[in-house]
């Protein structure tokens, strides 16, 4: 018995060895610590105490000319991955944040080489610091000067939503001293509830960078603005030794024009006015139709629709991104609104290749907002359709459901050019952009599917063709029918 007990204790000690080897060092905000990643020590862990609402950064920088490609993981108090980063600190240095801690407790930072904490793909010494982020507050219309260098290739700012009365803004950065040379710059605006806005890629040598738009509709919210200089090849230094670049950041408030139902509105885009902004008011569960047209010989446009919180929910273009051809018009139907409030429509010149291709181009367009024209399916009544246009990917239908109703959807091939495929999207309470059912057939035939609908409201059925792009049998013909099971 003693021998068995001894063996059990010995076995438990062996299991504990890896845990002992991964001992964690406690650090505090602002404390700079040093460490080394080796083949025998592929990761080093640190812990710190954080409070809910703390805005922090975690920076890991290779030292001593080491070839370490640093990598950071931040674990929450329960030990789950909260955030990770590879090269945001410039070159191959890692930087997490600024991020807001969601709860009070002990957080863990795991420092390693990219991108695995169990194997050292690169080795070397490093410095690490967890710090409270101090972000200068931006006043709309007042430029803020800052400096970038190899030692500090990033700059952080904060923009309060309540400081933008129109709820729409543009963020721009101008290089006013020095040169980025072969490096470039990006701007990222992190909204208060997980929405993001980014600048378009701009080739090295530019002096102007823009995020357009930034939606600031959430009262009391704050946005974190991150300006990052980076080399297109991550192993290259962003700047020459001792080089600095001086820049100015400006937030400009922009005015959006209201869209009125069934009333076309026109606009013109050019280099002086590259973006047009519109708003409309909608309720929860509304189904709408947005049509866009560009004038003959006008440059194509791109449209993005943002919801009441600033999340992009839909978009369209008069350019075909498959081949770059100009279609001249688009229709978004159904355009579904999840919440009551103000929605934003942003129009700019469509980019098929590089951003500089739109320079000197003019876009004249019209937009019309109306009620959805999506056909409503009636129970036990079949509806037929045909796929005869290679640019048409799907046909969309509505169905008015009763709470807790089970329906059977039957989609049938009417010729050999169609294979049944369809998605069912939920009512507004069920995240309507997500499929609650998806059926895909790879050959002609008949498919039936039973689905329970839990809410009173309109459900969306999107009919697609599983073999359409083969075109071996020409146009694809189908029928769809909804029957109430219970």
pLDDT tens by residue, the chain, 486 residues: 444 444 444 444 443 333 333 568 999 999 999 999 988 989 999 999 999 989 999 999 888 777 788 999 999 999 999 889 887 776 678 889 888 898 999 999 999 988 766 666 788 899 999 999 889 999 999 999 999 987 788 899 999 999 999 999 999 999 999 988 888 899 999 988 888 999 988 888 889 999 999 999 988 888 999 998 887 776 667 777 788 999 999 999 999 999 999 999 999 999 999 999 999 999 988 999 999 999 988 999 999 999 999 999 999 999 887 777 888 999 999 999 988 999 999 999 998 777 778 889 999 999 999 999 999 999 999 999 999 887 788 999 999 999 999 999 999 999 888 899 999 998 655 565 678 889 998 889 999 999 999 888 899 999 998 665 444 557 889 999 999 998
Q: Identify each DSSP E strand in 101-177 by its residue range.
A: 105-113, 124-132, 144-149, 154-160, 168-177
What residues are paired with 256 via a beta bridge? Answer: none
In this prediction, residue 480 carries a pLDDT of: 98
Give the rounded distance of the alpha carbon of 98 from its chain centre.
17
DSSP secondary structure string for all residues of 24-54: EEE--TT-EEEEEE-SS--EEEEEEEE-TT-
Residue 252 in contact with residue 396, Cβ under 8 Å? no
Which of 464, 316, 332 lies closest to 394 in space, CA to CA? 464
Whether 171 and 155 have beta carbons less than 8 Å apart is answered as no
Q: Which residue in this structure is represented by tokens 């009620």?
A: 371
Here the tokens at position 63 are 């030292």
Q: Which CATH class is domain 383-484?
A: mainly beta
Non-local CB neighbours of 349 within 8 Å, separated by 6+ positions: 269, 274, 299, 300, 301, 302, 358, 361, 363
Q: Cα(347)–Cα(115) distance, rounded to whole angstroms?
A: 39
Architecture of the domain made up of 257-371: Sandwich (2.60)
Question: Could you tell me which CATH class the domain 26-132 is placed in?
Answer: mainly beta
Which of helix, strand or coil describes residue 59?
strand
User: What phi and psi, each to the nearest 5 degrees, are found at residue 93?
Assistant: -95, 145
- Tens of pLDDT, residue by residue over 90-111, are 667 888 988 889 899 999 999 9
Report the C-alpha dihedral over residues 15, 16, 18, 21, rounded to 10 degrees.
-160
Per-residue pLDDT, 260 = 95
Q: What is the pLDDT of residue 6?
A: 42
Q: What is the C-alpha separation between 337 and 379, in angstroms, rounded?
A: 25
Give the full edge-to-edge strand order of the sheet including 383-387. 383-387, 476-484, 405-413, 446-453
Which among 403, 418, 406 is positioned nearest to 379, based on CA atoms? 406
- The CATH fold assigned to 144-253 is Jelly Rolls (2.60.120)
Run of H or E including 394: strand 394-401
Q: Which of 305, 311, 302, 275 is nearest to 288 (CA)?
A: 305
Q: Which of 484, 470, 466, 486 is nearest to 377 (CA)?
A: 484
pLDDT of residue 20: 36
CATH code 2.60.120.380 region(s) in the chain = 26-132, 144-253, 257-371, 383-484
Residues 289, 262: Cα–Cα separation, whole Å: 10
pLDDT of residue 4: 45
| In contact, 209 and 140? CB cutoff 8 Å | no
Tokens of 250: 């400006």
Instruction: Tell me the two tokens of residue 415.
Output: 């010729």
Tell me the whole-structure pTM to 2 decimals: 0.81
């Amino acid at each position: 018995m003693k021998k068995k007990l001894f063996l059990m204790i010995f076995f438990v000690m062996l299991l504990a060895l890896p845990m002992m080897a991964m001992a964690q060092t406690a650090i505090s905000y602002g404390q700079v610590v040093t460490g080394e990643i080796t083949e025998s020590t592929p990761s080093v862990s640190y812990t710190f105490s954080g409070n809910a609402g703390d805005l922090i950064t975690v920076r890991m920088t290779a030292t001593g000319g080491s070839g370490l490609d640093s990598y950071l993981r931040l674990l929450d108090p329960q030990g789950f991955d909260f955030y990770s980063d590879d090269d945001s600190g410039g070159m191959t240095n890692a930087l997490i944040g600024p991020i807001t801690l969601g709860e009070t407790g002990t957080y863990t930072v795991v420092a390693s080489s990219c991108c695995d904490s169990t194997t050292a793909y690169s080795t070397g010494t490093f410095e690490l610091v967890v710090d409270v982020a101090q972000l200068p507050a931006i006043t709309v219309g007042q430029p803020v000067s800052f400096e970038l260098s190899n030692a500090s290739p990033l700059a952080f700012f904060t923009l309060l939503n309540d400081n933008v009365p129109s709820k729409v803004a543009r963020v721009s950065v101008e290089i006013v001293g020095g040169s980025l040379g072969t490096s470039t710059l990006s701007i990222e605006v992190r909204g208060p509830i997980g929405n993001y806005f980014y600048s378009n890629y701009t080739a090295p040598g530019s002096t102007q960078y823009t995020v357009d738009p930034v939606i600031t509709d959430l009262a009391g919210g704050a946005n974190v603005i991150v300006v990052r200089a980076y080399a297109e090849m991550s192993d290259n230094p962003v700047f020459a030794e001792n080089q600095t670049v001086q820049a100015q950041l400006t937030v400009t408030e922009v005015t959006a024009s209201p869209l009125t139902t069934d009333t076309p509105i026109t606009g013109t885009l050019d280099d002086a006015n590259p973006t047009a902004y519109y708003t409309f008011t909608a309720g929860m569960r509304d189904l709408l139709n947005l049509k866009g047209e560009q004038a003959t010989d006008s440059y194509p446009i791109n449209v993005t629709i943002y919801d009441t919180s600033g999340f992009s929910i839909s978009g369209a273009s008069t350019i075909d991104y498959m081949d770059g051809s100009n279609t001249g018009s688009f229709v978004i139907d159904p355009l579904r609104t999840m919440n009551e409030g103000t929605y934003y429509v942003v129009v700019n010149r469509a980019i098929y290749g590089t951003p500089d291709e739109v320079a000197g181009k003019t876009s004249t367009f019209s937009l019309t907002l109306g009620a959805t024209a999506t056909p409503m399916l009636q129970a036990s009544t079949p509806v037929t359709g045909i796929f005869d246009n290679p640019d048409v990917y799907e046909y969309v239908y509505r169905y008015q459901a009763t709470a807790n109703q089970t329906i059977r959807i039957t989609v049938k091939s009417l010729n050999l050019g169609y294979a049944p495929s369809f998605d069912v999207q939920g009512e507004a309470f069920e995240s309507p952009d997500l499929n609650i059912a998806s059926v895909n057939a790879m050959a002609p035939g008949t498919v039936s599917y039973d689905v329970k609908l839990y809410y009173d409201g309109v459900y969306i059925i999107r009919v697609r063709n599983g073999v359409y792009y083969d075109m071996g049998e020409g146009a694809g013909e189908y029928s769809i029918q909804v029957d109430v099971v219970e």
